[in-house]
């Protein structure tokens, strides 16, 4: 071991990753390598490193379990652990934080960022060891990566920061030191209960503090931040006396998450839930009605002669019609109901939370269905043209006694084709032709 260099233990079952890390870090750090979790534990026991880089996905003993065993060993539990992973999975990240990891670094590596993060974590670990006897502030740690540091003196109720903290939130540097109540006033009111809960759990020793929440920016808006920390000093009775951590702006990440969610669950043309989200909500409603004895209603709607509109005037005109249909459908239903675009000119309306008898639920559903039909019969303005279009609507009740949600969808679809066969611009209920019970 080189006493002049911090010792880094890299645990990864991929030789290429170990070679890359070795080539990049050897000049600044005394790098030890291990190709498995068990080998890493043995190496750490022989030569206690200053920091561990730990791969999440490994056979036999994965990174989460390896970290758990490290933290269970009194001789190794204070070693900072940085997970390296190719997963973009927030559940995995939270699991890692819960077993004591201090940071995540994503593959493929940006070596300059890895090196800087290692420097920062080592620096923070050194400062944590000195905090018991020193009033040294952590304001300069992680400035290079833009992370803001906070240092909470619990006895005085005052929080101190580095300059990066103010830059993250666009605040005046007069707020480098302030009462903890000022921090709470900056947290979005909707997020504050969860933030308080996470802090209380950390103070109680249940888990490190980790939260993603919105904070008020100096421009008056809110930004998403990732906020992490832990208690670094307790008194002889175990009461927390000091807590430190860091905050980073994750607005861009949240925007990307929201866009991914929108693309996965919403129709890009109308903004309505797509088939995938509808199926999920239908499953939840079906299970709720099965447990509690209520009714749901599903309507399949198909716009009559839509292909003729596309063929005559072009798809742009057809798209205009679909957008207007979506808007009218949303105006006809309640807040708890779902309007979805199923594909093409097909829409689905799910009405939830009907109680009473099947006949009463069906009567209420018919009224809403006729309201929808009337709304969709009104002329549409497509560019300079007034255009008339009508819907064929199929309706079925469901209460959880059906085989599954696919059966519910099939019944509504059958009823919709019955409406088309009856001459279009009408509503038909599944099973009514046979005068049988409407929930089969």
What does pLDDT average to over the chain? 86
* Residue 2 confidence (pLDDT) above 60: no
Report the pLDDT value the prediction gives residue 435, as an integer from 0 to 100.
35
Report the pLDDT value the prediction gives residue 122, as an integer from 0 to 100.
86
Report the pLDDT value the prediction gives residue 437, as an integer from 0 to 100.
40
Q: What does residue 138 show for φ and ψ, rounded to 5 degrees?
A: -105, 25
Residue 359 belongs to domain with CATH number: 3.30.70.270
**Residue at a domain's end among 223, 241, 263:** 263
Q: Looking at the 3D structure of the chain, how many domains does it have?
A: 3
| pLDDT digit string, tens, across residues 387-435 | 999 999 999 999 888 878 899 999 999 999 999 999 999 999 998 754 3
Residue-range definition of the domain harbouring residue 35 = 1-130
Same domain, 291 and 403: yes
**Residue at a domain's end among 246, 263, 280:** 263
pTM of the model: 0.51
| pLDDT digit string, tens, across residues 195-223 | 999 999 999 998 899 999 999 998 989 99
Same domain, 242 and 310: no
Residue 439 lies in a domain: no
* Residue 307 confidence (pLDDT) above 80: yes
Same domain, 201 and 250: yes
Same domain, 219 and 340: no
Residue 181 belongs to domain with CATH number: 3.30.450.20
Same domain, 308 and 430: yes
| pLDDT digit string, tens, across residues 286-295 | 998 888 888 9
Residue 203 lies in a domain: yes
Same domain, 216 and 204: yes
Report the pLDDT value the prediction gives residue 440, as an integer from 0 to 100.
37
Same domain, 256 and 383: no
* Residue 155 confidence (pLDDT) above 50: yes
Sign of CA dihedral 426, 431, 436, 440: negative
**Residue at a domain's end among 225, 244, 263:** 263
Same domain, 43 and 147: no
Q: How far apart are CA 326 and CA 24, in angstroms?
A: 56
Residue 72 belongs to domain with CATH number: 3.40.50.2300
Q: How confident is the model at residue 357 (pLDDT cuts 50, 70, 90)?
A: confident
Same domain, 281 and 421: yes
Q: How far apart are CA 378 and CA 97, in angstroms?
A: 56
Same domain, 204 and 122: no
């Amino acid at each position: 071991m080189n006493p002049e260099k911090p010792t880094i233990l890299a645990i990864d079952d991929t030789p290429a990753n170990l070679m890359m890390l070795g080539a990049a870090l050897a000049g600044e750090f005394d790098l030890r390598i291990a190709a498995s979790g068990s080998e890493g534990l043995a190496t750490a026991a022989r030569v206690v490193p200053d920091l561990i880089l730990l791969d999440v996905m490994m056979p036999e003993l994965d990174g989460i379990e390896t970290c758990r065993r490290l933290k269970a060993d009194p001789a190794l539990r204070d070693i900072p652990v940085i997970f390296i992973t190719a997963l973009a999975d927030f559940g995995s990240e939270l699991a890692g934080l819960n077993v004591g990891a201090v940071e995540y670094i994503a593959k493929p590596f940006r070596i300059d960022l890895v090196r800087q993060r290692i420097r920062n974590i080592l620096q923070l670990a050194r400062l944590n060891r000195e905090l018991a006897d020193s009033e040294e502030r952590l304001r300069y740690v992680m400035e290079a990566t833009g992370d803001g540091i906070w240092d909470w003196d619990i006895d005085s109720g005052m929080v101190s920061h580095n300059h990066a903290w103010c830059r993250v939130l666009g605040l005046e540097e007069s707020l480098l030191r302030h009462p903890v109540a000022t921090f709470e006033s900056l947290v979005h009111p909707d997020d504050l209960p969860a933030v308080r809960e996470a802090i209380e759990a950390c103070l109680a020793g249940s888990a490190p503090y980790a939260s993603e929440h919105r904070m008020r920016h100096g421009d008056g808006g809110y930004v998403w931040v990732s906020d992490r920390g832990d208690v670094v000093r307790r008194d002889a009775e175990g009461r927390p006396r000091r807590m430190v951590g860091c905050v980073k702006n994750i607005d861009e990440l949240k925007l990307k998450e929201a866009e991914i969610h929108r693309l996965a669950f919403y129709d890009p043309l109308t903004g309505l839930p797509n088939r995938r989200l509808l199926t999920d909500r239908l499953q939840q409603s079906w299970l709720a009605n099965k447990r509690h004895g209520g009714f749901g209603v599903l309507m399949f709607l198909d716009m009559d002669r839509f292909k003729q509109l596309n063929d005559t005037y072009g798809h742009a005109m057809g798209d205009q019609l679909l957008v207007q249909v979506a808007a009218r459908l949303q105006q006809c239903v309640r807040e708890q109901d779902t309007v979805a675009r199923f594909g093409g000119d097909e829409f689905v309306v799910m009405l939830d939370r009907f109680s009473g008898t099947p006949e009463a639920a069906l009567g209420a559903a018919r009224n809403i269905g006729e309201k929808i039909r009337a709304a969709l019969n009104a002329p549409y303005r497509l560019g300079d043209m007034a255009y008339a279009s009508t819907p064929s609507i199929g309706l079925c009740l469901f209460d959880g006694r059906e085989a599954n949600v696919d059966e519910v969808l099939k019944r509504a679809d059958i009823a919709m084709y019955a409406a088309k066969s009856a001459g279009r611009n009408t509503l038909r209920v599944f099973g009514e032709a046979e005068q049988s019970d409407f929930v089969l």
